[in-house]
Amino acid sequence: MPVFTVLNPATEEPVAEVEQTSAADADAAIARAVAAQAAWRKVAPGERAALLRAFADVVGAHIGELAELETVGSGHPAGQARWEAGNVRDVLRYYSAAPERLCGKQIPVPGGLDVTFHEPVGVVGVIVPWNFPMPILGWGVAPALAAGNPVIAKPAERTPLTAVRIGELALEAGLPEGVFQVLPGKGSVVGQRLIGHPDVRKIVFTGSSEVGREIMAGCARQVKRVTMELGGKSANIVFADADLAKAAATAPVAAFDNAGQDCCARSRILVQREVYQRFLELLEPAVKAVTVGDPAREGTEMGPLISAEHRAKVASYVPAGAPVAFRGSAPEGPGYWFPPTVLAPVRLDDPAYTEEVFGPVVAVVPFEDEAQAVAMANDTPYGLSGSVWTGDVGRAIRVARAVETGNLSVNSHSSVRYWTPFGGFKQSGLGRELGPDALDAFTETKNVFIATDE
Ligand code: TAP
């Protein structure tokens, strides 16, 4: 059986060898999920809720261990990795409240009673990227299980360690065999099997827009349900009347969190021309203050990129002669390091401005007025996230409504909250995860009419 060697991105040293799931093994896992399905959907709502709470508790008892695995296997700073493991616990706990609340409707009709049921959709495949291996796994898995579906998760080939461990913890918590399985391996093998197998009824995919389009096309052959969470190129719009000091102080975390390997990265900063220079002056010390280094050390804010290949891709957006305004620091020696990098002024056709870099590179460009800011923010195939900084509440609301994006923060760079909906406009995705309505994506509405006529 082929194995994948997980490397520590901060040291380039091997961390673990993980057996790759073959297509035949994926088929066997799908058969186990199908076998588990009938019993899982019959588990009483209160019992299913209790099992999810037990799963959350077991994850909660292993936050430290999971975080350490993510730090060595994915290079995430220790504090961030603990937050990510805690997010899995919290999402499981949030959706553990769902089974008893999965209510249908009673609709008035003549001659009988009309009721709707939210039936489980069937076996769900969750395909996860390498940038946030734990949270993105939890966002798909928790509501799918709560709705009564067996789930098969495929972590990214490079970052399987925490997902595999969370799969073990599910069994420890008492989830029945076959209800939640984790299949490490390649997208081209395991991912494709989940997409092509008729017994998998729904795919939740998070990853690049390019692969997402291919997966949608594959799912279309069986009219398979899909939720797509794809790329982003979000704008951070700073108006002249904003609290400039706060906007500049917080811009680095919005662009460089997870070393910029974040679909929500505000990687384009649009600044009103009259405060453009002042904003750059305030941004420079904030960027230079970002602590880049050993992710295992407490207090580190930014770790390495995921791999040598990815670092080469990120570096290609900053070629010799690129308009680098200033940069933060990065360690020398082994590890896939790349310093926080600010490009300004940038041509509007520069790939660093138009494409998702997925690294710590941000472009700062000026705009004249509100209409131009909105037009520039929307001039992208993506629409996932963004921020607006202004002291004018009317403008904040106008711009927040006008920017074509699924998640927007005013005078903040709020991250994703598990109890509010999350997803993209345009080519950033299809459907919504998280929040109170997430179970809709994992159920089919069934309408039943019962005649009462004599
Ligand atoms: P991708 O290369 O698209 O891979 C994502 C997942 O899909 C991996 O598990 C991958 O497996 C699998 N995969 C790749 N090709 C496949 C195929 N042909 N069939 C089935 N599965 C396949 O993305 P990535 O580089 O890991 O992640 C970065 C991207 O994800 C960025 O564009 C980022 O914006 C996006 N992202 C979006 C969000 C949201 S919520 N919108 C959140 C995080 C990330 P392998 O391991 O074999 O590659």
d(CA 395, CA 174): 51
Residues forming the active site: 229, 263
Pocket test for ligand 1, best of 263, 417, 432 (most atoms within 8 A of CB): 263
- CB burial class (10 A; 0-12, 13-18, 19+) of residue 105? exposed
Integer distance in angstroms from the first to the last C-alpha of the chain? Answer: 65
Does residue 384 line the site of ligand 1, with CB under 6 A? yes
Region of 333 please: left (phi>0), alpha (psi -120 to 50) or beta: left
Does residue 355 line the site of ligand 1, with CB under 6 A? no
d(CA 145, CA 37): 11
Question: What is the atom index within ligand 1 of the atom nearest the CA of 263?
Answer: 34
Atom 39 (ligand 1): residue with closest C-alpha? Answer: 229
| Residue-wise pLDDT tens digits, 363-400 | 999 999 999 999 999 999 999 999 999 999 999 999 99
Question: What is the atom index within ligand 1 of the atom nearest the CA of 229?
Answer: 41
| Residue-wise pLDDT tens digits, 318-356 | 999 999 999 999 999 999 999 999 999 999 999 999 999
Query: Which single residue is written with the structure tokens 């994850």?
Result: 59
The band of 415, judged by pLDDT with boundaries at 50, 70 and 90, is: confident
- CB burial class (10 A; 0-12, 13-18, 19+) of residue 179? buried
Region 394-419: what's the mean pLDDT?
Answer: 96
Which pLDDT score is estimated for 454? 80
d(CA 400, CA 176): 45
Region 390-415: what's the mean pLDDT?
Answer: 96
Of 27, 438, 421, nearest to 192 by C-alpha is 27
Pocket test for ligand 1, best of 21, 130, 305 (most atoms within 8 A of CB): 130
Does residue 231 line the site of ligand 1, with CB under 6 A? yes
CA 452–ligand 1 middle distance (angstroms)? 52
Does residue 386 line the site of ligand 1, with CB under 6 A? no
CA 217–ligand 1 middle distance (angstroms)? 15
If DSSP codes are grouped into helix, strand and coil, which group holds residue 7? strand
The DSSP element (H or E) to which 3 belongs, if any, is: strand 3-7
Neighbours of 127 (CB within 10 A): 25
Task: For residue 247, give Cα distances in angstroms to 90, 115, 228, 344, 398.
Answer: 29, 51, 31, 17, 19
The band of 196, judged by pLDDT with boundaries at 50, 70 and 90, is: very high
Does residue 399 line the site of ligand 1, with CB under 6 A? no
Does residue 356 line the site of ligand 1, with CB under 6 A? yes
The band of 441, judged by pLDDT with boundaries at 50, 70 and 90, is: very high
The band of 414, judged by pLDDT with boundaries at 50, 70 and 90, is: confident
| Residue 55: pLDDT over 90 | yes
Evaluate whether 178 touches 25 at the Cβ level (below 8 Å): no
Which pLDDT score is estimated for 118? 97
Region 253-262: what's the mean pLDDT?
Answer: 97
The band of 29, judged by pLDDT with boundaries at 50, 70 and 90, is: very high
| Residue-wise pLDDT tens digits, 285-316 | 999 999 999 999 999 999 999 999 999 999 99
d(CA 350, CA 363): 10
Atom 12 (ligand 1): residue with closest C-alpha? Answer: 187
Of all residues in the chain, what percent carry a pLDDT higher than 90? 99
| Residue 4: pLDDT over 80 | yes
CA 211–ligand 1 middle distance (angstroms)? 7
Does residue 229 line the site of ligand 1, with CB under 6 A? yes
Joined tokens for residue 257: 């969190």
Pocket test for ligand 1, best of 4, 21, 131 (most atoms within 8 A of CB): 131
| Residue-wise pLDDT tens digits, 96-149 | 999 999 999 999 999 999 999 999 999 999 999 999 999 999 999 999 999 999
Does residue 131 line the site of ligand 1, with CB under 6 A? yes
CA 62–ligand 1 middle distance (angstroms)? 26
Atom 35 (ligand 1): residue with closest C-alpha? Answer: 207
Region 5-30: what's the mean pLDDT?
Answer: 98
Atom 32 (ligand 1): residue with closest C-alpha? Answer: 208
